[in-house]
Amino acid sequence: MSLTLILTRHAKSGWDDPLLTDHDRPLNKRGRKSAPAIANWLRAHDWLPDEVLSSSSARTRETWDRMGLQADKIGFHRSLYLADPEDMLTILSSATEPTVLMLGHNPGIAEFASRIVRTPPHYQRFHDYPTCATTVIRFRITDWAEIDWHSGEVLGFTIPRALLE
């Protein structure tokens, strides 16, 4: 048995309105194109979430909405907003479904991605994790509570630019 994590950074957000807090910033035009492209890549590989664990920010919510995917359980967590890797691991360990999509922010998500996989993919942008970067990771465990650092096997990694060119 194995569990699968889809780790996605939010799509590109806008800075047009200086009155908005960082938490409330929406996606920009590029971000609105990137989210569905990532979703199509996931669908093409049959990597679809059963559960979503997302930051509560406007840009992560909009990324999820624009992906147009379905999930049995969806949770938006303030604790995932700008979370560090340890907090992300703690939240993931409470997941209950076999395939989880986690939506978050840099710098935490880039560090989390680097620390959760056994061997990083041979992709130049993996370690800086640009907007809407997505890694699909398999774990040889039966319960998310068993998850540990450097235990995941990368099944796939992409960024929107690779899909939209």
Distances (CA, A) of 100 to 6, 27, 61, 75, 143: 6, 23, 16, 11, 12
Half-sphere CA count of 79, side-chain side, radius 13 A: 10
3-state secondary structure of 115: helix
Strands 153-158 and 134-139: antiparallel
pLDDT level of residue 121 (50, 70, 90 thresholds): very high
Please tell me the pTM assigned to this model.
Answer: 0.97
pLDDT of 1: 86
3-state secondary structure of 16: coil
Looking at residues 114-131, what average pLDDT do you find? Answer: 96
CA 156 centroid distance within chain: 13
Each residue's pLDDT tens digit, 27-81: 999 999 999 999 999 999 999 999 999 999 999 999 999 999 999 999 999 999 9
Question: What is the spatial order of strands in the sheet that 99-104 belongs to?
Answer: 73-77, 51-55, 99-104, 3-9, 134-139, 153-158
Each residue's pLDDT tens digit, 67-117: 999 999 999 999 999 999 999 999 999 999 999 999 999 999 999 999 999
CATH superfamily of 3-164: Phosphoglycerate mutase-like (3.40.50.1240)
Looking at residues 154-165, what average pLDDT do you find? Answer: 94
pLDDT of 8: 98
Token pair in block for residue 19: 């009155």
Strands 99-104 and 3-9: parallel
Report cis status (omega within 30 of 0) of the bond before 107. Answer: yes
Domain ranges of the chain: 3-164
| pLDDT at residue 165 greater than cutoff 80 | no
